[in-house]
C-alpha cells in the first residue's frame, strides 16, 4: 500500500507558523489588544453624535435633504401649483401616486382640467424623489416628517391636496401693445454742388 506524505502544520499563532513560540504569541496578543484599546479611547473622547430620540423629539432637526413624507405645497390662500398633468404619476416606479382630475368650465366658457384628488400611498413609497424631479411646476416636495408608524395600513394612503384648495390662476396675458406707425424715411437732399440723383431729389 502506497504511503501518503502528510504534512502537519502548527496553527497556534493563526498564521501556520509554528516557530513563533510562547513569547512571540504573547507579544502579538498585547499589540492586538493595544490597537483595540487605542480605537476605544479615541471614540471615548470624540464628541457624541447619537440622537437621544424620542426624548429630543421637540428639538430634533433633520438634515435639509432628508426625505420624510411627500407633500403638496399650498400658499396662505389654500392654493397649490398642481395642474394635474400626471407627470409625477408616470415617473413613479412604484405606482404610489394617483392623480385624479376633473374637467370644469371656466368663466370665459373654456374647458379646463383641474386636480380633484392627489393620492399618495406612503406605504409603497421608496423615497426616490423621481416624482418631485418630474414635476414641472414645483408643486410637490418632501417634508421632514418621519414618524410614519400606524396600526392600519389604509392610514398610509394620504390625500395631498387640501380640502377646498385650488390651483393658482395664472395672471391673464396682456393684450399685445399696438406698434407705433413707422415714420416715412426722409429723402436726403442734394447739397450745393452735388450731382442730383434719384435718391436725393424731392
Ligand atoms: S418618491 Fe419615488 S416612489 Fe415615492 S412617490 Fe415619488 S416617485 Fe413614487
Ligand atoms: S404634482 Fe406636478 S407633475 Fe404631478 S400632476 Fe401636479 S403638476 Fe403634474
Give the model confidence (pLDDT) of 149-180 as tens digits.
Answer: 999 999 999 999 999 999 998 765 555 555 45
Q: Structural domain boundaries of the chain? A: 15-49, 70-167
- Residue 184: pLDDT above 70? no
CATH number of 70-167: 3.30.70.3270
Task: Tell me, in angstroms, the distance from the centre of ligand 2 to residue 71's CA.
Answer: 12
Interatomic CA distance for residues 91 and 142, integer angstroms: 16
Q: Judge if pTM exceeds 0.75.
A: no
- φ and ψ at residue 27, rounded to 5 degrees: -65, -45
- The protein residue with its alpha carbon nearest to ligand 2, atom 7, reads 82
C-beta 90 within 6 A of ligand 1:
no
3-state secondary structure of 113: strand
Give the model confidence (pLDDT) of 34-49 as tens digits.
Answer: 999 999 999 999 998 8
Predicted confidence band of residue 142 (pLDDT cuts 50, 70, 90): very high
Task: Tell me, in angstroms, the distance from the centre of ligand 1 to residue 120's CA.
Answer: 9
Nearest to 96 by CA among 63, 145, 132, 62: 132
Answer yes or no: are the C-beta atoms of 82 and 118 closer than 8 Å: yes
Interatomic CA distance for residues 117 and 119, integer angstroms: 6
CA distances for 157 relative to 5, 61, 99, 117, angstroms: 72, 26, 13, 12
- Residue 52: pLDDT above 60? yes
Give the model confidence (pLDDT) of 61-114 as tens digits.
Answer: 888 999 999 999 999 999 999 999 999 999 999 999 999 999 999 888 889 999
Residue 127: the pLDDT is 97
C-beta 128 within 6 A of ligand 1:
yes
Task: Tell me, in angstroms, the distance from the centre of ligand 1 to residue 6's CA.
Answer: 62
Percent pLDDT > 90 in the chain is 63
Amino acid at each position: 500500500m502506497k504511503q501518503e506524505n502528510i504534512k502537519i502544520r502548527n496553527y497556534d499563532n493563526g498564521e501556520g507558523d509554528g516557530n513563533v513560540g510562547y513569547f512571540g504569541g504573547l507579544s502579538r496578543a498585547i499589540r492586538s489588544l493595544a490597537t483595540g484599546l487605542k480605537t476605544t479611547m479615541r471614540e471615548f473622547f470624540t464628541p457624541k453624535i447619537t440622537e437621544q430620540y424620542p426624548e429630543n423629539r421637540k428639538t430634533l432637526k433633520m438634515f435639509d435633504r432628508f426625505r420624510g413624507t411627500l407633500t403638496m405645497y399650498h400658499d396662505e390662500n389654500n392654493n397649490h401649483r398642481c395642474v394635474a398633468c400626471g407627470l409625477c404619476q408616470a415617473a413613479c416606479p412604484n405606482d404610489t401616486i394617483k392623480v385624479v382630475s376633473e374637467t370644469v368650465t371656466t368663466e370665459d366658457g373654456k374647458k379646463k382640467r383641474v386636480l380633484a384628488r392627489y393620492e399618495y400611498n406612503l406605504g409603497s413609497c421608496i423615497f426616490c424623489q423621481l416624482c418631485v424631479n418630474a414635476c414641472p411646476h414645483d408643486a410637490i416636495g418632501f417634508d421632514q416628517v418621519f414618524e410614519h408608524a400606524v396600526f392600519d395600513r389604509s392610514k398610509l394612503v394620504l390625500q395631498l391636496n387640501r380640502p377646498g384648495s385650488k390651483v393658482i390662476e395664472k395672471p391673464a396675458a396682456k393684450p399685445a401693445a399696438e406698434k407705433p406707425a413707422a415714420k416715412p424715411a426722409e429723402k436726403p437732399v442734394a447739397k450745393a454742388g452735388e450731382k442730383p440723383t434719384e435718391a436725393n431729389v424731392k
